[in-house]
């Protein structure tokens, strides 16, 4: 078999050999298949994805590929999503219409490049030194040479890429496959599609408090009414979520269970099923923004909520932009039941489809041996920068240093003293040569206290972080914020 052999041909070969393996037995590694058949890693990835989509094999990230147990596949029952027919059509006839407010200021504040010489503690993307520039260039070059690379793709996305996102999400065998995945133009596009699909104009949408300002901007631009639900160090508080559903009749809850932006909180194990049960009892959807799954600092991660969802409650949003490059705008929505048809229709109306060359390049990237090495490098680089920022804060501004170090993500959430003017601090910091994000835009309603968010993702390294915190300390002194406990 030559290098230009198709993944379909390889899948046929592997399909004919599956009877040689017992149910549950591990298949040869991807590297072995590459060497044996003389094909690229991407071809192997696509062939295995096709077999997984047929339920013939099960791929376990970090472990390998196994022949599926037929009994287990048959035991996977279809999820009962009949409740979605009510949730997708219910509207609060007594709710006052919410004005459409199109305000991108909170988003542009993080997207705008600071002036020359200013240290960017306000960024949300990886520094160029952490981006896989060579791997991206190689992936784009290989994708451009692929036959049909410039043809129109399926509206829902390339099947092998959808299968990859499905495998990454995990879940019981047979419950999440390519049919439950819609490829999107990044996480922000996915979030916009989800909110437009799930909530009619004028309706309430529950959000964590504080939360990602981009979600608030999308909701308000769609004429929705964001209702805050407080979080603590273990994520959203279930009792307050239940109260909010009861008080508002909301049908949507937006959350970030892993390395929440801006607090860095991880939803505690004991709260996961409780949150899903509360939402299901309310006949509501949970939009899970899993933006930081590939931004861990090392160590095991909990599975996404969608992997534990027995009712089709979770609409899962993920993206490859954060761990790669701002310009690799490829993400996915995972959903089960009739809601997927609405999600697909809204994306088609808004943007038709994600360009095929970008999807092909993404497949080349995540299927290459360099991909896991890149993720390890990102984990190490973010952990090193986090530790440097925490050390500098403890030295320069111990009163602001957080008590718990985040295990992933790229930011720290700093509580300022009562009465502090966070906007004045952000202005003083910029004059001192460091850009930070004021906390007010992260709240859907009045903020309970002043905060600033400082990010370490877009920094060149530890020395720049140390200097940035030193400049922030000067800004604190200028605005009268104490540096000691």
CATH number, position 42? 1.10.10.10
Give me the mean pLDDT over the 215-239 stretch: 95
Distance CA 77, CA 81 (A): 12
Q: Domain check: are 141 and 264 in the same one?
A: yes
Task: Report the CATH number that the domain containing residue 435 is assigned in CATH.
Answer: 3.90.1150.10
Inside any domain, residue 89: no
What pLDDT, on the 0 to 100 scale, is given for residue 336? 93
Q: Which domain holds residue 183?
A: 133-367
Q: What is the pTM of this model?
A: 0.82
Q: Are 109 and 183 part of one and the same domain? A: no
Do 65 and 162 have their domain in common? no
- Could you tell me if residue 62 is inside a domain? yes
SS3 labels along 182-249 = EEECCHHHHHHHHHHHHCCCCCEEEEEECCCHHHHHHHHHCCCEEEEEEEECCEECHHHHHHHHHHHC
Q: How many domains does the chain have?
A: 3
Confidence band, pLDDT 50/70/90 cuts, at residue 297: very high
- Residue 280 included in any domain: yes
Listed residue (485, 471, 456) closest to 124, CA to CA: 456
- Check whether residue 152 and residue 196 sit in a common domain: yes
Confidence of residue 106 (pLDDT cuts 50, 70, 90): confident
Q: Is 99 a domain residue?
A: no
The verdict on 116 and 183 lying in the same domain is: no
Residue 243, domain member (yes or no): yes
Domain-ending residue, one of 310, 344, 367? 367
Average pLDDT over residues 43-61: 79
**43 in Cβ contact with 7 (< 8 Å):** yes
Domain-ending residue, one of 351, 367, 383 = 367
Domain contains 228: yes
Whether 279 and 324 share a structural domain: yes
Question: Quick one: pLDDT at residue 82?
Answer: 65
pLDDT at residue number 168? 92
Instruction: Name the domain boundary from 75, 93, 123.
Output: 75
- Domain match, 308 and 411 both: no
Q: pLDDT of 347-405, one tens digit each? A: 999 889 999 999 999 999 999 999 999 999 999 999 999 999 999 999 999 999 998 99
Does residue 2 lie in a domain region? Answer: no
- Each residue of 439-468: pLDDT tens digit? 999 999 999 999 999 999 999 999 999 999
Q: Looking at 30-34, 85-89, 237-241, 285-289, which range is the least confident one? A: 85-89
Q: Does residue 90 sit within a domain? A: no
Q: Are residues 164 and 61 in the same domain?
A: no
Do 143 and 261 fall into the same domain? yes
DSSP 8-class letter at 152: P
Phi/psi of residue 101, each to 5°? Answer: -120, 110
Both 138 and 231 in one domain: the answer is yes
* 126 and 40 assigned to the same domain: no
Kindly state whether residues 317 and 202 are assigned to the same domain.
yes
Of the candidate ranges 5-9, 170-174, 429-433, the one whose mean pLDDT is the lowest: 170-174
């Amino acid at each position: 078999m030559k290098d230009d052999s198709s993944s379909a041909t390889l899948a046929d070969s592997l399909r004919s050999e599956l009877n040689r393996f017992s149910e549950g037995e591990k298949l040869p590694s991807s590297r072995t298949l590459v060497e044996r058949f003389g094909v690229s890693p991407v071809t192997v990835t696509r062939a295995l994805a096709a077999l997984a989509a047929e339920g013939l094999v099960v791929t376990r990230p970090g472990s390998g590929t196994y022949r599926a147990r037929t009994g287990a596949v048959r035991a996977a029952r279809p999820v009962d999503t009949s409740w979605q027919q009510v949730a997708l059509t219910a509207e609060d006839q007594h709710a006052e219409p919410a004005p459409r407010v199109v305000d991108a200021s909170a988003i542009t504040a993080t997207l705008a490049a600071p002036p020359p010489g200013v240290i960017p503690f306000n960024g949300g993307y990886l520094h160029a030194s952490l981006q896989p520039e060579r791997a991206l260039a190689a992936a784009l070059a290989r994708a451009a040479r692929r036959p049909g690379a410039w043809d129109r793709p399926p509206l829902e996305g390339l099947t092998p890429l959808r299968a990859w996102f499905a495998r990454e999400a995990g879940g019981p065998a047979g419950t999440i496959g390519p049919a439950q995945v819609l490829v999107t133009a990044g996480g922000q596009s996915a979030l916009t599609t989800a909110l437009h699909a799930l909530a009619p104009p004028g309706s309430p949408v529950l959000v964590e408090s504080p939360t990602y300002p981009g979600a608030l901007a999308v909701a308000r631009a769609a004429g929705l009414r964001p209702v805050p639900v407080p979080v603590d160090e273990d994520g959203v508080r279930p009792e307050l979520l239940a109260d909010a559903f009861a008080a508002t009749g909301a049908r949507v809850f937006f959350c970030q269970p892993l390395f929440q932006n801006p607090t860095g909180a991880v939803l505690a194990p004991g709260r996961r099923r409780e949150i899903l049960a509360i939402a299901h009892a309310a006949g509501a959807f949970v939009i899970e923004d899993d933006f930081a799954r590939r931004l861990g600092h090392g160590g095991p991660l909990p599975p996404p909520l969608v992997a534990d969802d027995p009712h089709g409650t979770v609409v899962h949003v993920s993206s490859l932009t954060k761990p790669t490059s701002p310009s690799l705008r490829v993400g996915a929505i995972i959903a089960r039941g009739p809601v997927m048809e609405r999600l697909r229709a809204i994306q088609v109306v808004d943007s038709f489809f994600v360009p095929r060359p970008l999807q092909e390049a993404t497949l080349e990237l995540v299927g290459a041996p360099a991909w896991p090495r890149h993720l390890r490098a990102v984990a190490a680089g973010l952990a090193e920068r986090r530790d440097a920022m925490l050390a500098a804060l403890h030295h320069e501004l111990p009163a602001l240093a957080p008590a718990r170090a985040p295990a992933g993500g790229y930011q720290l959430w700093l509580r300022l003293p009562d009465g502090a003017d966070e906007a004045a601090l952000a202005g003083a910091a910029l004059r001192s040569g460091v850009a930070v994000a004021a906390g007010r835009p992260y709240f859907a309603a009045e903020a309970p206290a002043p905060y600033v968010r400082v990010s370490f993702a877009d920094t060149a390294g530890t020395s720049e972080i140390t200097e940035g915190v030193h400049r922030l300390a000067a800004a604190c002194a200028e605005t009268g914020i104490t540096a000691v406990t």
